[in-house]
């Protein structure tokens, strides 16, 4: 290894560890369900994004196996050559139905979507108004586009309006986009989409909603745009297929002309091998399950409300979440790491979240009850939270 690289890594890794900012990766020994096994220990799992429990669904496993038997384990090529299977076409038709749009395009991951779609439409002659708490993939997608990035205060509509007005009246930009998460993953709050749409119409802004944590969760499962009835007012509906949908990949849904453009100008579509057939078949079936029934959605919300009430009653700072996402905000990074470690020792897997995922001094454990959790699991978790919280002085 280069001496320069060795010195850089040694110094910076030590600094991260000293500040409580180094993230340990814990391999899961088996399925990622309501409980998981880590280092041979069975734990109540409160850190998964498997919101509806579909990642381990037996019917989806069967469908994936059948698709593998018929099509093989890989798509074999990029989408634009011959990696587009009839399965991909069916998936995109189902995505458009799911999101209430004319068309949709699927990608290899949600992160890929934001890298692909933003830079395919926006360039150095444009500007992007971006919520300060937007996901890292949005930030990177905006940077890749080379557009002028104008951050507005989190969900502050006065600030957005002022900056939209300034951007349009400056005459410096050919196009201006406003981009926001639908559900903010670390706090669980929902974007003010009706107000954003109103401002977008006033200043002729392109609208882009990243609904990675809303698809399957809000709008009776159809997402945050559907929650507000704004399917005809949002230009880009983007989301992931790896959270509530339970598999892998991402999508953008919108007008047919937008999807046609993304198929010829978005680089991950053109230059990365397509999602494997087993996954595509499972995704399509999972979407149909969400369309057909709200049973899993309703169970998710029931469990989320139950856990929130229990932790709030104990005196934990759970923020202002409007979704099942339930943060326990502790603040100090080292204490947050210690709290997470003690939860692990007592039987709960709730991962510590610290800078740069959240701001410095805003360390937390992010709890994600799912539709697969039982009340007994949640009661056991709440009891462990009480024990560890009092032990470490997080609660009285």
Of 99, 163, 243, 351, the catalytic one is 243
Cβ atoms 106, 269 nearer than 8 A: no
What is the phi-psi region of residue 173: left when phi exceeds 0, alpha when psi lies from -120 to 50, beta otherwise? Answer: beta
Question: DSSP assignment of 228-281, as one string?
Answer: TT-TTT-SEEEEESSSTT-SS-EEEEE-HHHHHHHHHH-HHHHHSBPPPHHHHH
Query: Any catalytic annotation for residue 360?
Result: no
Of 155, 185, 242, 321, the catalytic one is 185
Closest CA to 372 of 289, 297, 293, 285: 297
Residue 369 CA, distance from chain mean position? 15
From CA 161, how far away is CA 167, in angstroms rounded?
10
List Cα–Cα distances, 393 to 36, 335, 339, 388, in angstroms. Answer: 28, 10, 10, 8
Query: Any catalytic annotation for residue 213?
Result: yes
Of 88, 135, 148, 213, the catalytic one is 213
List Cα–Cα distances, 196 to 88, 99, 319, in angstroms. Answer: 32, 19, 23
Edge to edge, the sheet with strand 176-181 lists 103-107, 250-254, 236-240, 206-210, 176-181, 127-131, 148-152
Cβ atoms 190, 182 nearer than 8 A: yes
Closest CA to 55 of 242, 285, 215: 242
Residues with a catalytic annotation lie at 185, 213, 243
């Amino acid at each position: 290894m280069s001496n320069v690289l060795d010195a850089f890594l040694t110094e910076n890794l030590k600094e991260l560890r000293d500040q409580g900012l180094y993230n340990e990766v814990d391999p899961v020994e088996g399925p990622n369900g309501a409980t998981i096994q880590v280092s041979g220990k069975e734990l109540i799992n409160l850190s998964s994004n498997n919101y509806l429990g579909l990642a381990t669904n037996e019917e989806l496993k069967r469908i994936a196996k059948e698709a593998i038997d018929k099509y093989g384990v890989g798509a074999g090529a990029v989408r634009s050559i011959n990696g587009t299977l009839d399965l991909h076409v069916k998936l995109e038709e189902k995505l458009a139905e799911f999101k209430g749009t004319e068309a949709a395009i699927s990608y290899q991951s949600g992160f890929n979507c934001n890298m692909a779609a933003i830079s395919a439409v926006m360039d150095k002659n444009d500007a992007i108004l971006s919520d300060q708490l937007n996901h890292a993939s949005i930030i990177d997608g905006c940077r890749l586009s080379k557009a002028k990035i104008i951050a507005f205060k989190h969900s502050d509509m006065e600030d957005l309006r002022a900056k939209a007005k300034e951007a349009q009246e400056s005459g410096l930009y050919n196009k201006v986009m406003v981009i926001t998460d639908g559900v903010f993953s670390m706090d669980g709050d929902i974007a003010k989409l009706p107000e954003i749409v109103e401002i977008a119409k006033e200043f002729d802004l392109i609208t882009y909603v990243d609904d990675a944590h809303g698809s399957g969760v809000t709008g009776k499962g159809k997402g945050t745009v559907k929650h507000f009835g704004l399917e005809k007012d949002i230009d880009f509906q983007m989301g992931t297929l790896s959270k509530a949908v339970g598999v892998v990949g991402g999508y953008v849904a919108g007008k047919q002309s937008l999807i046609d453009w993304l198929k010829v100008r978005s680089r991950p579509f053109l230059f990365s091998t397509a999602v494997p057939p087993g996954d595509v078949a499972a995704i399509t079936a999972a979407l149909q399950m969400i369309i057909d029934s709200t049973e899993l959605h309703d169970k998710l919300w029931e469990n989320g409300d139950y856990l929130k009430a229990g932790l709030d009653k104990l005196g934990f700072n759970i923020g202002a979440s409007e979704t099942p996402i339930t943060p326990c905000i502790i603040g100090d990074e080292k204490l947050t790491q210690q709290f997470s470690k003690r939860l692990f020792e007592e039987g709960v897997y709730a991962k510590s979240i610290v800078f740069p995922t959240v701001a410095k001094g805003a360390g937390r454990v992010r709890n994600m009850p799912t539709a697969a959790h039982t009340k007994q699991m949640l009661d056991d978790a709440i009891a462990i939270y009480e024990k560890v919280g009092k032990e470490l002085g997080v609660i009285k």
